Structure 1
Amino acid sequence: MAIIQGDTALLTQPLNQERRQETEAVRRVLTELNLTMVDMEDAGATLEGSDVLFTGREFFVGLSKHTNQRGAEILANTFQDFAVSTVPVSAGTRLKNICSMGGPETIIFSNSEKARKTLKVMEQLTDHHYNVLSVPEDAAANCVYIRGAGELDYLLHPTQDECPNSVSAFQKFTSYTLLPTSCSEASKLGGALSSFCLLINRKLPY
């Protein structure tokens, strides 16, 4: 329901009108954290967090049924210090259904045909080389990378039961604390790991 970078939070505008009511609860929480709130004032713009991938260097926005060009333009206007590239995604798919960050320089990507097409486009749009960890199952490509205090890094990823063919790939992150996290019940409603968190990258005041 929000895209957060630094001290700025862009409240997204889901395609589903009923879900737009959820942004008010998110607004209250983020206001308490003293973030600068930005609203999408164009009623025709749609943007969902599940279509936005921030690499730490740039944004990729998946153009899908849920996110349109105008939504991507508002994101670009909000975060002008970063490049914003739009990427078409297959019908019924959201960008984070097929990829997510696995670290500062690594993107985890599904090995499906539709995901490989998206990856090829993203590689053409960026001037930076990212490492790619390929996983055989789409659900395994939706992970949450968390940079912890000091040198501690964490990766929330689907469990062995959910993605039996992909879990071994995460063992390549030898310096991470791996946290298998079940999302099987939420997935029945179309949710994924990254759908249930807002990552805030800022220094604590102590």
Structure 2
Amino acid sequence: MSVASRYPKFGQFNAAIGSRVPNSIEKYPEYQKARPNRELLKREQLDLLHILREKMHLDVTELVPEEKTPLCCFVEDLAVVFNGKALLTRGLKSGDPRELEIKSLKIALKDYGIEILFMEEYASAIPHNPMELNGGAAAGDEMENGVEKEPKRIVGGDVLFTGYEFFIGISYYTNVEGAMEFASKMTDLAVTVIKLPLETSNDPEIKSRRLKDYISVACEGLLVYADTPDGNYLLKQIINNSSYDYSTVKMRAEFLANCMYINGYLLYPDTGNTLCSDGDSDYKLLDQLISRIPVPASEFSRIKTALSRRVLIFDAPHTHGARRHFP
């Protein structure tokens, strides 16, 4: 893919939607072992929203936390927003009562002038191992008689936009059918599907990971990735399936590989411990290219939650310059 085809608004945002941390987050079953400090999580989330509002100058909407949903502060799960459109996702575990969150998010997105798109529940019959999504490659799942029909699933954490093309990770939450839905409704750019190496793991923490837990974009043409077996496996898929030559910077831990490129700045997770000191030495390799802004994330790192999951960042047709809360 040529440099000339780069999306002209890459990395430019004017709006964000986030949610405060609910009291119920400490009761989420998968966090019981880590026993996170609820008040520290709340403080770190408020710090992130403050940075977006005051330093990044984004118009920030804070959703009222939904106590029935312990994970309501992870709004990236709920939608993929691109070029004035939002695809509301259908990739969460069955039984998660997130309908109220999606209702509030939909109101907020419409308020910004974003067009709302809904996923159909099931895919039509598709050929075995489809190889193209808007010019990108795809890897199909096992099918019977050459046809598969299952609910479409996708979450925002599995959708990586580099400025030139999209990569979508096939994970516990995202499948090929969901990727095809995204490609058909959201973009004319190349969409390439890659697989996360989750098949052999029974660990809930491993299965809950998304593509952007391992790889993110630090600035135009530069990928940040986790220097782990899984991170290297995914990076190799990206390099092998892209016609654009990306530069790369490796991080020594998966949690540090997720950062956000916003309006010429790099927001990265500051864990406040030795892990951060190791990772910080890696991040310093970027200092000649981009200004870095640390985001407090010591408590979020204990529950292995990527920075980008905590907020939905996008370029809105219009903003209002006011803090808004949606019940």
Find the aligned partners of 1:106 and 1:201 in 2 and give their Cα distance.
21
> Contact between 1:135 and 1:169, CA under 8 Å: does it hold in 2?
yes
Match of 1:12 in 2: 89
Structure-to-structure mapping, 1:117-136, within 5 angstroms: 117-136=233-252
1:157 maps onto 2:268 in alignment: yes
- Look up the equivalent residue of 2:110 and give its one-letter code: T
Deviation at 1:174, TM superposition (A): 2.7
What is the DSSP-based 3-state SS (H/G/I as helix, E as strand, rest coil) of the residue aligned with 1:119? helix
Q: Percent identity?
A: 28
Residue 195 (structure 1) aligns with: 309
Kindly indicate whether residue 103 of structure 2 is the aligned counterpart of residue 24 of structure 1: yes
Match of 2:227 in 1: 111
Any conservation in 2 of the 1:108–1:132 contact (CA below 8 Å)? yes
Task: Determine whether 1:169 maps to 2:282.
Answer: yes
Per the alignment, do residues 186 and 25 of structure 1 end up closer, same or farther by CA in structure 2, a change over 3 Å counting?
farther
Corresponding position of 1:179: 293
State yes or no: 1:64 paired with 2:180: no
Following TM superposition, by how much is the alpha carbon of 1:187 offset from its aligned partner in structure 2, in angstroms?
4.0
Unaligned runs of 5+ in 2: 1-77, 123-150, 199-206, 321-327
Larger Rg: 2
Provide the rounded CA distance (Å) in 1 between the counterparts of 2:90 and 2:248: 30
Unaligned stretches of 5+ residues in structure 1: 148-152
State the Cα distance separating 1:103 from its structure 2 match: 0.7
Letter in 1 for 2:283: F
1:76 and 1:62, CA in 2 relative to 1: closer, same or farther beyond 3 A? same
**TM-score, normalized by length of structure 2?**
0.58
1:155 positional shift: 1.1
Q: TM-score, normalised by structure 1?
A: 0.89
* SS state at 1:164 partner: helix
Aligned letter for 1:14? G
Once the two structures are overlaid, the 10-residue window that deviates more, 164-173 or 110-119, is: 164-173
Comparing both structures, which one devotes a greater share of its residues to strand? Answer: 1
Match for residue 150 of structure 1? none
The CA deviation string for residues 124-170 of structure 1, in whole angstroms up to 9 with x for no partner, is 111111111111111110111102xxxxx211112142522111222
Query: Do 1:14 and 1:20's aligned partners in 2 also have CA atoms closer than 8 Å?
Result: no
Change (3 A) 1:163 1:205: closer
For 1:96-121, what per-residue CA distance to the aligned partner results, in whole angstroms no more than 9, with x for missing partners? 11111101211100010111111111
Alpha-carbon shift at residue 20 of structure 1 (Å): 3.8
Cα distance in structure 2, aligned partners of 1:190 and 1:136: 14
| Residue-pair matches, total | 201
Secondary structure of the 1:199 match is strand
Match of 1:47 among 154, 158, 164: 154
Question: How far apart are residue 205 of structure 1 and its match?
Answer: 7.3
* Contact 1:101-1:107 within 8 A present in 2 as well: yes
Q: CA RMSD in A?
A: 1.9
Q: Could you say which structure has the greater relative contact order, defined with CA pairs below 8 angstroms and 6 or more residues apart?
A: 2
Q: What's the offset of the Cα at 1:68?
A: 0.8
Amino acid in the other structure paired with 1:66: Y
Q: CA deviation at 1:201?
A: 2.7
